[in-house]
Amino acid sequence: MEHQQTLFPLDFDEFEAARLEFGATEKQMRIAYDRALSRTLVTVRKLSRQFLCDELQARRIKDVQRRMKVFKLKKAGKKTFNELKLWFGLNDMSVGALKGRKTQHSDGAAFSSSSRSIGSKKYKGGFVTNRYGNRSIFIRKDDGRFPILDQKITLSEDLEFKIEDQIFAEIPDIFFKYYFADLKYRVTKK
């Protein structure tokens, strides 16, 4: 499951009202907008990374960063503004990449996590071992010794809604905090 979302809808009347309130030029408004967008991009990336690491109980931040992309889309034209897009890869994740208990049973292996977004799962015919320094659950592909397949766990469907509620709800506040601060600075800098 993949998810792509425009971060927040823009109300251009607010930009114009702020420009008039501070007495800024159109050029100052655009520069303040682009700077606020760049700063928002960095902040949202950091907040998203922290949220997903906590929610998924990931062992390494690197595994979460690979599943998350933030884009600054540049648009040409005087009446258009650049925008951000945020993409999350919410497809199945390797058991070895997550914190949790991996146990061996007589009929296979099991993984359990304290995270509600992951839960627990049993793997019939699976076994727990270290491979390339990574403790995970594997299943043999054939009757032979090799090849073995690293097992994955499905992420919760409600993780997408949690991201929207936690991260997307904060974006307008973050953006306008940076925008007003930068616009105010550019006007007083004259």
pTM greater than the 0.85 cutoff: no
Q: Of 90, 88, 93, nearest to 111 (Cα)?
A: 93
Q: What is the pLDDT of residue 8?
A: 60
Q: What is the pLDDT of residue 102?
A: 95
The answer, yes or no, to whether residue 182 has pLDDT greater than 50, is: yes
Report which of residues 10 and 153 the model is more confident about. 153
Q: What is the pLDDT of residue 105?
A: 94
Dump pLDDT digits (tens) for 75-103.
656 666 777 788 888 889 999 999 999 99
| Alpha carbon 76 to its chain's center | 27
Domain ranges for the chain, please list them. Answer: 2-91+157-189, 95-153
- Residues contacting residue 51 through CB under 8 Å, at least 6 positions apart: 162, 163, 166, 167
Two tokens at 106? 């007589």
